[in-house]
Amino acid sequence: MDETIRWTNLTHQQIADRLKEDYGIEISRRIVKQLFKKHGYKKRKAHKSLSIGKSKNRNEQFENIAELKNDYMNAGNPIISMDTKKKSL
């Protein structure tokens, strides 16, 4: 990672809007973009992970989860559902 690069989560338009709201400075997002480049700022982007392919037991995994879920529900227990994905580079 290049340590000389500065990061922000704000878009060029959000920065222009905040400058106008907070300081009364009107500036176009094109100028904000030029200033980003001049001063070494970058818009932070989300990292996208690569697919690890298909598991040969994928359907069995979901069938097992559904069976466990039904057993817990029939026993009167609460169910919490979380959507998670394995991240791999």
Return the structure tokens found at 73: 């529900």
Residue 20, domain member (yes or no) = yes
Residue 38 sits in which domain range?
6-43
Residue 85, domain member (yes or no) = no
Residue 86, domain member (yes or no) = no
Long-range contact set of residues 10-13: C-beta below 8 Å, sequence gap at least 24: 10/43, 11/43, 12/36, 12/43
Q: How many domains does the chain have?
A: 1
Residue 82, domain member (yes or no) = no
Count of helix runs (H) and strand runs (E) in the chain: 3, 2
Residue 18, domain member (yes or no) = yes
Residue 57, domain member (yes or no) = no
Give the pLDDT score at 26: 94
Q: Is the pTM of this model over 0.85?
A: no
Mean pLDDT of successive 10-residue segments in the chain (89 residues)?
A: 70 91 93 88 68 73 88 86 71
Give the pLDDT score at 22: 93
Give the pLDDT score at 53: 63
